[in-house]
Structure 1
Amino acid sequence: MQARHTLTASERSRLLPFVVASGEISPRDQRDLMERPFFSLSKTKRTTPILYAAGDTRVEVFGMPEHGMATIWDADVLIWAASQIVEAENLGLTTSRFLRFTPYQLLTGIGRQTGARDYGLLRAALARLQSTVVATTIRNGQNWRRQQFSWITEWEICASRNGRAAGVEIVIPEWLYRGVIDRSLVLAIDPAYFRLTGGIERWLYRVARKHAGRQRTGWTFEIGHLHQKSGSLMRPSDFAIQIRRAAACQPLPGYRLSIERAGVRELLRILPTDLSTYPVDNYVNGIGTSHASTIGTSHAGLSGLHTHKPQLSLWPETAIPALNLSNLDSNSYVDGKPRSADNPSCPSIAPFKGPGDGP
């Protein structure tokens, strides 16, 4: 039975849809999400809040008991959505916070399988993204003025007659959308990122890409500082062990890790080994909804981007009658105490495992 929202009108009724094109594109990540603790690094359910403060920057993340906090694997959905928006904007097309696509497009775009289990994991990821509440002062200047939102404000999966998921609709928050269409806030990432299996490894790659980038001299972090930035529930000593393990395994595509010491301080040095990753080349601007009749992406044919009438037969207006808002109390806070650990490992190229599946 689908959850229904009875308090406010659907944002989808007020936004023109951006129908995502098919084809391979360069994945892009949003800078603010790459260096601060916005996601759980564990594959087990986390409801303990993330509370992070550094100067004027504050990040608070709350997971609901029913679904738990959105994980760094769930963030692949946001990376893929951001990549599609940036690609369209780079082609001179306006976009929308309201995206339509097929599960197959998303799953193949982030290196997942497309079996029944993977569609089930996608549903669970969308539920966590919608029910996770984020409050942050990022991009609000010197004044402590926070914005509060969920990673997905609405979502719906449209199933075919045989019960297979055929189409997806999501609405992303304005805060994320503005951070995606601003060229200075987006970086290209290595597609091999999606094959990293450990939460800390994935988080470390994003930190490396954001800070070390293409600098030949790389970047150095104090491991204690990294622990704070990660939002991890691990003890600092256990976190340091996992950083040393990552340095021994060398899992990050394009970067090499080494442990150094400066007196009593333990440091992690990150050096780029492959300078092929690069920032987004073309400036993207403009906030709006698409009024283009077609959209072409590199390495792909044309795709429908019609905004005046329903686009594909997957989405007749009567086929998706209700919102799928998985938690009506998503703006409430959850209190809790640390009681779980992150789940890092030396990665092997293996199929994706969803939260709760173990290492």
Structure 2
Amino acid sequence: MPHSRPASERSRLHPFVVSGGDASPRDQRDLMERPFFSLAKAKRTVPILYEAGDVRVEVLGMPEHGMATIWDADVLIWAASQIVEAENLGLTTSRFLRFTPYQLLSGIGRQTGARDYGLLKAALARLQSTVVATTIRNGQNWRRQQFSWITEWEICASQTGRAAGVEIVIPEWFYRGVIDRSLVLAIDPAYFRLTGGIERWLYRVARKHAGRQQAGWAFEIAHLHRKSGSLARVADFACDIRRIVARQSLPGYRLGIERESTRELLRILPADLSTDPVDSHVDGIGTSGVGTIGTSGVPLSGLQACKPQLSLWPETAIPVLNLTNLESNSYVDGTGRLADNGRDPSVSRRQGRGGGP
């Protein structure tokens, strides 16, 4: 007998129709802290294997598409931003999102030409084909959970053949990490204008750990290299960091190099942040964990003014109140700081307020 095709998740989920697109950008803390994405411009198929304490992350990229990149992660950042915005308005959200390509591309600072739609399609393919296995947020027994960044996706065309709508299903692990306010941080919209993969990675690390602490946060560069999953040599990695320090290109932060004996440290200090805090403040952040490193990046283009495209769905908000709040999965110790079972003593932190949202 022929095998029956598995039922689509979209057939079992109520769609969350994105009605706008101008939500303030938010990022998910776990994605900012651990190595989940390739930062290289070239296709990466070498796995990422990261372990610290009870925390383990494995990322596999399929040969056909390669591993999802830090630029592909913009899709997840945009999706998280829309979900948080809708939840703040009391609307019901879902792992099944419907939106137009124009909403997404314009929301992350991309142009909306034919080439950009092609790049979006390639990004969705990488997000779906990348396999992630992790023990993060899986309860007291630290069960391993495996998923892809996008479970399903489809780009729908209008009668003229132009891309008019996108449907995606995000994994439960990511969705729960977004609707839990303590696991989300607002980020500077200027993030999308950063052109280098390592700059984008470093901004997310800075936002996650240094936050708004006056004393900032210090990282040993060799430690960052180990945590990054970078395929570059330590010396090349350090040179990339020094170039970014010389440019001072991270929005909202000032960078400096410090030396303690034989150790070289990166000091990150907050400047004038343009982001606003997310709803629930969380004090203090645990040890750092970062994404994979690449020495080259794909530049992001600016916005292109054009009329909204025809949508396959009415651009109306879902008029259903969301009265369900999940409890935070974060563990807060007696000092009010978030505990991190993967704490690494090689990270240097000074006294001051935690890097909360």
Q: Same fold (TM over 0.5)?
A: yes
Q: Deviations over 1:104-155 (max 9, x none)?
A: 0000000000000000000000000000000001112453411000000000
User: Does 2:284 match 1:342?
Assistant: no
Quote the Cα distance in structure 2 between the aligned partners of 1:23 and 1:157: 18
3-state SS of 1:259 partner: strand
Q: Residue 58 of structure 2 aligns to which amino acid in structure 1?
A: E
Q: Deviations over 1:70-90 (max 9, x none)?
A: 000000000000000000001
Aligned residues of 2:228 and 2:293 also touching (Cα < 8 A): no
1:60 paired residue number: 58
Q: Deviations over 1:195-230 (max 9, x none)?
A: 101111000000000000011110000001111222
Quote the Cα distance in structure 1 between the aligned partners of 2:224 and 2:4: 42
Aligned residues of 2:105 and 2:112 also touching (Cα < 8 A): yes
Structure 1 gap ranges (5+): 284-339, 353-359
Query: Normalization by structure 2: what TM-score?
Result: 0.78
1:189 paired residue number: 187
Q: What displacement does 1:279 show? A: 3.0
Query: Normalization by structure 1: what TM-score?
Result: 0.78
User: Does 2:229 match 1:277?
Assistant: no
Over 3 Å counting, the alpha-carbon distance change for 1:6 and 1:128 in structure 2 is: farther
Aligned residues of 2:188 and 2:251 also touching (Cα < 8 A): yes
Q: What displacement does 1:7 show? A: 4.3
Aligned residues of 1:27 and 1:80 also touching (Cα < 8 A): yes
3-state SS of 1:208 partner: helix
Over 3 Å counting, the alpha-carbon distance change for 1:6 and 1:165 in structure 2 is: farther
1:33 paired residue number: 31
Over 3 Å counting, the alpha-carbon distance change for 1:6 and 1:33 in structure 2 is: farther
Quote the Cα distance in structure 2 between the aligned partners of 1:152 and 1:349: 22
3-state SS of 1:270 partner: strand
Q: Deviations over 1:87-108 (max 9, x none)?
A: 0001111210000000000000
Aligned residues of 1:214 and 1:278 also touching (Cα < 8 A): no
Aligned residues of 1:257 and 1:268 also touching (Cα < 8 A): yes
Q: Residue 102 of structure 1 aligns to which amino acid in structure 2?
A: T
Quote the Cα distance in structure 1 between the aligned partners of 2:176 and 2:43: 29
Quote the Cα distance in structure 2 between the aligned partners of 1:219 and 1:187: 17
Aligned residues of 1:37 and 1:59 also touching (Cα < 8 A): yes
Give the alignment of 1:282-321 within 5 angstroms: none
1:155 paired residue number: 153
Q: Residue 12 of structure 1 aligns to which amino acid in structure 2?
A: R
2:100 paired residue number: 102
Quote the Cα distance in structure 1 between the aligned partners of 2:294 and 2:77: 21
Indicate which of 135, 138, 154 corresponds to 1:137: 135
Q: What displacement does 1:344 show? A: 3.8
1:206 paired residue number: 204
Give the alignment's Cα RMSD to 1 decimal: 2.0
Aligned residues of 2:221 and 2:266 also touching (Cα < 8 A): yes
Q: Residue 24 of structure 1 aligns to which amino acid in structure 2?
A: D
Q: What displacement does 1:350 show? A: 4.9
Structure 2 gap ranges (5+): 282-291, 304-357
3-state SS of 1:162 partner: coil
Over 3 Å counting, the alpha-carbon distance change for 1:56 and 1:168 in structure 2 is: same
Quote the Cα distance in structure 2 between the aligned partners of 1:349 and 1:68: 20
Indicate which of 140, 162, 165 corresponds to 2:163: 165
2:45 paired residue number: 47
2:317 paired residue number: none
Further displaced range: 227-236 or 203-212: 227-236
Indicate which of 15, 20, 23 corresponds to 1:17: 15
Over 3 Å counting, the alpha-carbon distance change for 1:6 and 1:217 in structure 2 is: farther
Aligned residues of 1:201 and 1:344 also touching (Cα < 8 A): no
Q: How many residues align?
A: 291
Q: What displacement does 1:348 show? A: 8.0
Identity of matched residues, %: 82
Q: Residue 56 of structure 2 aligns to which amino acid in structure 1?
A: R
